Structure 1
């Protein structure tokens, strides 16, 4: 790659050092990225008089925002995995075509999704659990956010290619820029300009614009081995990108379904008396959960270019070492976050609300959600490793099983108990998925590494 030794050599540098250099910045970047939603929710929850209802409205928007973001992962992860395999195989022209096609696909997706979501947003919000009280706040937030879809998708999707070229610190800078802008602008627009929840959405869009401009400038820079440029989408490459990216896309998209189901169940079984209260508490609980799952996803997805590169270079031993190092990192992180959830949850909850009822319910919910968070790290590591190896059908199946268990438990538990027992769907699905993913990975992936169905044989 261009430049001096500042570029990480995926094929020869020590694996533990590479994992730390690549996954930790990606982990930190995802942690910072969570601040987009959490900072918004903190400020929204503290708006005088309407804070609680506005927070519930933002919570209803969460699955739609997750769904929009999943399209960035579809192209970003799918393209960067193929891109890394081509680099590992020494095919720079093939890598350049994949990068250019991925960028063009993101432009097309962002345009189509903006118009589509603006057209159906009212229907989506009603379906996702917005009440007569919270609909106006949710509609305002979502309308403004959707107008910034281009910035969100391009900054997220193209950032994967910065890390794939050996520059994880620049990838981290992308999200840092957005998060800092969001933190600074939120109080200005929400309180200073008295825009309330609309101000939170405007601040987020401006922050994403900043990240987007940085990503594009970086990929045009001289440091990049493969610079970005627009290409006319090629059907074969687009098909391969979507095929590889479909697994992480569906994983994120079905996260939306889970949030939708939880909000709808809480609203239905909680009724007029407790429905909005339960959704508000669930929004706070999910914010803490994001502080765990987003950085963990950063570690596992950040390691994917390293796995894919060595897969293309036919170095299975380096792949095994990478998976082991990433797993150790994730286990250590989840143990830490589990301990914090047991000792200090009240301090986190108080940032969002001063209402004693909301606080008590949210603290209880965090404790429930975190019961099986350590086993969940196995599922994250193994599913993303299988995706990086091209085993998309298998990784997708494992992810969907977890979501199906979650969805079933969310709907069934309140039938026999109270509405808030829907929270237990999280630990039930986490444990089941961890056992299943671990079993499948250890029985299958070694045989696969020996050459069955290798992606390097794909023609582009």
Structure 2
């Protein structure tokens, strides 16, 4: 429910900012969100299998399997999103033409897809990190980083880039917000893993 509210708030704020550049900019963003769902759909499907496996190994004090599961899932997620990045960078006009071939929309949409998709290789790990917190029984960090990414960083940066540099550079707000959120998220998860694995080792020593 909270995640849906954040997404709705973000979309509303983004559309208000883009409205200053005309309806074509809003249309370009709409096309992007339709296309990006095809890139991230496999990652969300991967999540459905990853979360219970990670949670099971956490509950059974199996740090080695937790590490292997996390690393392998991370690599697969990066592979999916990097493939999406390559497609968006190489054939953006073809993707836009699937919806509309208006020259202005092609120009704005192509620029948007190229700029926004720079974030794709980072979004894969971000999704897995968020899911990992939930699998470990701690969903609060996921909420914090979603709020940071979608509201605290994205909207202000989008507004400032649009205000000072124009629509062409406004789309850089997406990779900037992803980079700004994945760094603290990675550090937080690393520290959490360290505490969990240390506790598991101590438990193993007591049992042994």
Structure 1 residue 410, shift from structure 2 partner = 2.0
Query: Counterparts of 1:272-291 in structure 2 under 5 Å?
Result: 275-291=22-38
2:5 is aligned with 1:253 = yes
| 1:291-333 Cα distance to aligned partner (Å, 9 max, x none) | 2233223223431111112222332322221111100101111
SS of alignment partner, residue 372 of structure 1: helix
Measured in 1, the distance between the counterparts of 2:12 and 2:48 equals 25
| 1:65-103 Cα distance to aligned partner (Å, 9 max, x none) | xxxxxx4xxxxxxxxxxxxxxxxxxxxxxxxxxxxxxxx
Worse-superposed segment, 413-422 or 357-366: 413-422
SS of alignment partner, residue 171 of structure 2: helix
**Partner of residue 122, structure 2:** 375
Give the structure-2-normalised TM-score.
Answer: 0.86
**Partner of residue 17, structure 2:** 265
| 1:419-438 Cα distance to aligned partner (Å, 9 max, x none) | 45332210111112222222
Measured in 1, the distance between the counterparts of 2:139 and 2:197 equals 14
Out of 189, 192, 197, the position equivalent to 1:444 is 192
**Partner of residue 312, structure 1:** 59
Q: Which runs of 5+ in 1 are unaligned?
A: 1-70, 72-249, 453-460
2:112 is aligned with 1:360 = no
| 1:174-233 Cα distance to aligned partner (Å, 9 max, x none) | xxxxxxxxxxxxxxxxxxxxxxxxxxxxxxxxxxxxxxxxxxxxxxxxxxxxxxxxxxxx
Measured in 2, the distance between the counterparts of 1:394 and 1:451 equals 20
Structure 1 residue 450, shift from structure 2 partner = 4.8
Measured in 2, the distance between the counterparts of 1:357 and 1:411 equals 21
Query: Counterparts of 1:71-82 in structure 2 under 5 Å?
Result: 71=1
Measured in 1, the distance between the counterparts of 2:145 and 2:191 equals 14
Measured in 1, the distance between the counterparts of 2:61 and 2:184 equals 27
Aligned residues: 199
Query: Counterparts of 1:213-224 in structure 2 under 5 Å?
Result: none
**Partner of residue 410, structure 1:** 158
- Could you say which structure has the larger radius of gyration? 1
Out of 311, 316, 337, the position equivalent to 2:84 is 337
Which is richer in helix?
Answer: 2
Structure 1 residue 415, shift from structure 2 partner = 2.3
Q: Report if the CA contact (8 A) 1:305-1:388 is conserved.
A: yes
Q: Which runs of 5+ in 2 are unaligned?
A: 201-208
Measured in 2, the distance between the counterparts of 1:311 and 1:444 equals 12
Structure 1 residue 264, shift from structure 2 partner = 0.8
Measured in 2, the distance between the counterparts of 1:304 and 1:430 equals 22
Give the structure-1-normalised TM-score.
Answer: 0.41
Worse-superposed segment, 429-438 or 290-299: 290-299
